[in-house]
Structure 1
Amino acid sequence: MKFETILEEIGGFGHFQIFILVMMCCPRIVLPLHYLLNNFIAAVPSHHCNIGSMDDGQIFANLTQDQRLTVSVPRGEDGVLRSCEMFAELQFQLLVNGSNSTEMQTVQCQSGWVYDNSTFISTLATEWDLVCDQKSLTKTMSSIFFFGVMIGAIVFGFLSDKYGRKNTLMLSYVMTIVFGFSSAFAKSYTVFAVLRFLTGFGITGIATNSLVLSIEWVDTDHRSFIGVIGSLSWSFGNMLLAGFAVLINDWRTLTMAVTAPLGFAVLTWWWIPESARWLLANGKVKQAQIYLDRCAKFNKRQQASSKLKLETLSNIEINENQDKNYSYLHLFKTPKMRRLSVLTGIVWCGIALTYYGISLNISGFGLSLYLTHFIYAAIEVPAKLTVYFCLNLVGRRMCQAGTLLLTGTCIAINIFLPKGLWYVRSVVAILGKGLSEAAFTTVFLYTTELYPTVVRQNALGYTNFMSRCGVLVAPLILLLEDVWVLLPQIILCSVAITAGLVALLLPETSNITLPETIDHVEKTRMNDVSSRSAAASGVFMETKESQQTESAEVESK
Structure 2
Amino acid sequence: MTKEPVDLDAILVELGQFGRYQIRTYCFILLPIMFSAIYNSQYIFAAAEVNYRCQVPECEASPPQFATNGWGGWAFPDGGGRCERLRPVADSCQQASFHPTETKRCQAWIYQHNNSIVSEFGLACQEWKRTLVGTIHSAGLFLALPLTAYISDTFGRRVAFILTAVAPAVVGLARSFSQSYATYMTLEFFDATVGAGVYSSGFILALEMVGLNRRVIGGNIISCTFAVGQAVVALIAWAIPEWRTLTRVLYAPSFIFVLYYFLIEESVRWLLSKGKKKEAARIIFKVASFNNKKLSPETIKKLTDEDPKTEDSKSKVAEDDGKSPSVVMQVIRSKVMISRLCICSFWWITVTFIYYGLSINSVSLAGNSYVNYILTSLVEIPGYCASALTLNRFGRKSSIMTAFFICGISLVSLPFIPQHLQWLQTTLNLLGKLCISMAFSSIYIYTSELYPTTLRHSLVAVCSVCGRIGQVVAPQTPLLMAYMESLPYLIFGVMAAASGLLMLLTPETLDVRLPDTVQQAETLDTAPRTAHTTTDIIVD
**Bin for the TM-score computed over the shorter chain:** 0.7 to 0.9
1:505 Cα shift?
Answer: 6.0
1:486 Cα shift?
Answer: 3.8
Q: 1 or 2 for the larger relative contact order (CA 8 Å, sep ≥6)? A: 1
TM-score by length of 1: 0.79
Are 1:47 and 2:47 matched, yes or no? no
1:146, 1:471 within 8 Å by CA — same for their partners in 2?
yes
Report the counterpart of residue 353 of structure 1 in structure 2: 353
1:236 to 1:332, Cα distance in 2 relative to 1, 3 A: farther
1:451 Cα shift?
Answer: 7.9
**DSSP 3-state at the match of 2:362:** coil
Most deviating of 288-297 and 524-533? 524-533
Report the counterpart of residue 188 of structure 2 in structure 1: 196
Are 1:279 and 2:261 matched, yes or no? no
1:345 Cα shift?
Answer: 3.3
Match of 2:225 among 206, 214, 233: 233
Match of 1:126 among 119, 128, 131: 119
1:310 Cα shift?
Answer: 5.2
1:55 Cα shift?
Answer: 6.9
2:166, 2:257 within 8 Å by CA — same for their partners in 1?
no
2:169, 2:253 within 8 Å by CA — same for their partners in 1?
no
Match of 2:109 among 113, 122, 131: 113
Please list, as runs of the form range in 1=range in 2, the aligned pairs for 1:89-168 lying within 5 A after superposition.
89=88, 103-110=100-107, 112-117=108-113, 121-132=114-125, 134-168=126-160
Q: Distance in 1 between matches of 2:179 and 2:506?
A: 48
Most deviating of 250-259 and 143-152? 250-259
Match of 1:291 among 252, 275, 283: 283
2:58, 2:93 within 8 Å by CA — same for their partners in 1?
no
2:350, 2:467 within 8 Å by CA — same for their partners in 1?
yes
Q: Distance in 1 between matches of 2:216 and 2:327?
A: 24
Report the counterpart of residue 434 of structure 1 in structure 2: 434
Q: Distance in 2 between matches of 1:280 and 1:451?
A: 26
1:459 to 1:477, Cα distance in 2 relative to 1, 3 A: same
**DSSP 3-state at the match of 2:104:** strand
2:15, 2:293 within 8 Å by CA — same for their partners in 1?
yes
Are 1:30 and 2:38 matched, yes or no? no
Report the counterpart of residue 538 of structure 2 in structure 1: none
1:139 Cα shift?
Answer: 0.2
1:500 to 1:228, Cα distance in 2 relative to 1, 3 A: farther
Q: Which letter does structure 2 place at the counterpart of 1:7?
A: L
Q: Distance in 2 between matches of 1:297 and 1:54?
A: 77
Q: Distance in 2 between matches of 1:277 and 1:192?
A: 40
Instruction: Output one character per residue of 1:27-80: Cα deviation in whole Å (capped at 9) or x when no partner.
Output: 1111221222222111122211122366799xxx9xx9514444533344xxxx
Please list, as runs of the form range in 1=range in 2, the aligned pairs for 1:337-416 lying within 5 A after superposition.
342-396=342-396, 398-416=398-416
Q: Distance in 1 between matches of 2:55 and 2:325?
A: 57
Match of 1:186 among 158, 172, 178: 178
Are 1:306 and 2:300 matched, yes or no? yes
2:511, 2:529 within 8 Å by CA — same for their partners in 1?
no
Q: Which letter does structure 2 place at the counterpart of 1:355?
A: Y
Q: Distance in 1 between matches of 2:140 and 2:149?
A: 14
Report the counterpart of residue 497 of structure 2 in structure 1: 497
1:147 to 1:411, Cα distance in 2 relative to 1, 3 A: same
1:404, 1:500 within 8 Å by CA — same for their partners in 2?
yes
Q: Distance in 2 between matches of 1:224 and 1:331?
A: 29
**DSSP 3-state at the match of 1:261:** helix
**DSSP 3-state at the match of 1:104:** strand
Report the counterpart of residue 535 of structure 2 in structure 1: none
1:531 Cα shift?
Answer: 10
1:107 Cα shift?
Answer: 1.0
Please list, as runs of the form range in 1=range in 2, the aligned pairs for 1:251-270 lying within 5 A after superposition.
251-270=243-262
**DSSP 3-state at the match of 1:52:** coil
1:279 Cα shift?
Answer: 3.0
**DSSP 3-state at the match of 1:13:** coil
Match of 2:22 among 17, 20, 24: 17
**DSSP 3-state at the match of 2:411:** helix
Q: Distance in 2 between matches of 1:108 and 1:331?
A: 61
**DSSP 3-state at the match of 1:366:** coil
1:106 Cα shift?
Answer: 1.6
**DSSP 3-state at the match of 1:303:** coil
Instruction: Output one character per residue of 1:437-479: Cα deviation in whole Å (capped at 9) or x when no partner.
Output: 2223334566678889998876675444322211111122332
1:28, 1:233 within 8 Å by CA — same for their partners in 2?
yes
Report the counterpart of residue 423 of structure 2 in structure 1: 423
**DSSP 3-state at the match of 2:255:** helix
* Amino-acid identity (%): 25
Q: Which letter does structure 2 place at the counterpart of 1:22?
A: C
Q: Distance in 2 between matches of 1:136 and 1:144?
A: 12
Report the counterpart of residue 171 of structure 1 in structure 2: 163
Q: Distance in 1 between matches of 2:510 and 2:226?
A: 24
Mind listing any 5+ residue stretches in structure 2 that lack a counterpart?
Answer: 533-540
2:451, 2:521 within 8 Å by CA — same for their partners in 1?
no
**DSSP 3-state at the match of 2:53:** strand
Count of residue pairs brought into register by the alignment? 514
Alignment root-mean-square deviation, CA: 4.1
1:491 Cα shift?
Answer: 2.2
Report the counterpart of residue 83 of structure 1 in structure 2: 82
1:150, 1:469 within 8 Å by CA — same for their partners in 2?
no
Q: Distance in 2 between matches of 1:350 and 1:362?
A: 18
Please list, as runs of the form range in 1=range in 2, the aligned pairs for 1:537-556 lying within 5 A after superposition.
none
Q: Distance in 2 between matches of 1:169 and 1:275?
A: 11
Most deviating of 154-163 and 426-435? 154-163
Match of 2:76 among 66, 69, 73: 73
Q: Distance in 2 between matches of 1:124 and 1:256?
A: 14
Report the counterpart of residue 554 of structure 1 in structure 2: none
Q: Distance in 1 between matches of 2:87 and 2:145?
A: 51
Instruction: Output one character per residue of 1:131-180: Cα deviation in whole Å (capped at 9) or x when no partner.
Output: 21x12100011000100012212332333233332222223123322212
1:151, 1:465 within 8 Å by CA — same for their partners in 2?
no
Q: Which letter does structure 2 place at the counterpart of 1:434?
A: L
**DSSP 3-state at the match of 2:85:** strand
1:346, 1:499 within 8 Å by CA — same for their partners in 2?
yes
Mind listing any 5+ residue stretches in structure 1 that lack a counterpart?
Answer: 537-557
Q: Distance in 2 between matches of 1:343 and 1:206?
A: 28
Q: Which letter does structure 2 place at the counterpart of 1:49?
A: C
**DSSP 3-state at the match of 2:110:** strand
TM-score by length of 2: 0.81
